[in-house]
Amino acid sequence: MAKQIRDVVEQYVKLVGSGPTEAIVELYAPDATVEDPIGTPARNGHAAIREFYDVIAALDRTTELRPETVRVGGNEAAFMFTIVTRVAGQRFTLSPIDVMEFDDEGKITRMRAYWSQEDMAIEPE
């Protein structure tokens, strides 16, 4: 199960960086929840999760997994990655810590992202 979870984490980060929304949503179980960032209302189910990821779909974005941070224990994983978005001549860089829970089929059942506005670097392009 650990390898399967690690593979999903790698696929998730890749898709957040360049993939279509639907491919990201397919990594989640139908009744999954997303709390991103921590402290915001959880989004429940594929429709709400799709709406969440649609926000970044049209952005110029890249991601990079920090492989040395990936930790898998039981049916959970924690990891850090960097996402860079470019909007209106500015570059936004964020490195959240995501914690995910998985079901027996390797689908994400819960994702919680740890970050706040203070963690985002904004620079001119």
Catalytic residues, by residue number, are: 12, 36
Answer whether 118's CB lies under 8 Å from 96's CB: no
Q: Which residues contact 31 (CB under 8 A, 6 or more apart)?
A: 44, 45, 109
Q: Which residues contact 50 (CB under 8 A, 6 or more apart)?
A: 21, 22, 25
